[in-house]
Amino acid sequence: MPNDRMLSLLGLARRAGKVQMGHDPVLESLRRGRARLVVLASDLSPHTAKGILFAARQEEIPIYTLSHSMEELSAAVGKHTGAVAVEDSGFARKLETFCTDR
């Protein structure tokens, strides 16, 4: 249930223009210090996840892996993706309330 609300909130953040989606945009957001939270789909490839996880840990940005697939995450944000960087502190704080692990 929390993940469903999380997907809805991610969709709202996307419509507000407060997220970056996809491997390269997420890495760029992390490197530029804009990301406040990183969300990964449960079935994101380990190779893709590895680089994002490394960069997020270096920048000390919270990471949350959904129990939902890339297909479900993509439906929520309106673009095919398995990784999302939230760049707004308000959205990130609210999303973190749904996070039970990192």
Q: Summarize pLDDT for 75-98 with one digit per residue, the tens.
A: 999 999 999 999 999 999 999 987
Q: Give mean pLDDT, residues 38-58.
A: 95
**What's the mean pLDDT when you consider all of the chain?**
92
Instruction: Provide the residue ranges of all domains of the chain, joining segments of one domain with +.
Output: 2-96
Q: Is the pLDDT of residue 99 over 80?
A: no
* DSSP state letters, the chain: -HHHHHHHHHHHHHHTT-EEESHHHHHHHHHTT--SEEEE-TT--HHHHHHHHHHHHHTT--EEE-SS-HHHHHHHHTS--SEEEE--HHHHHHHHTT-S--
What percentage of the chain reaches a pLDDT higher than 90?
A: 85
pLDDT score recorded for residue 1: 46
Q: Summarize pLDDT for 7-34 with one digit per residue, the tens.
A: 999 999 999 999 999 999 999 999 999 9
- 2-96 has which CATH code? 3.30.1330.30
pLDDT score recorded for residue 102: 43
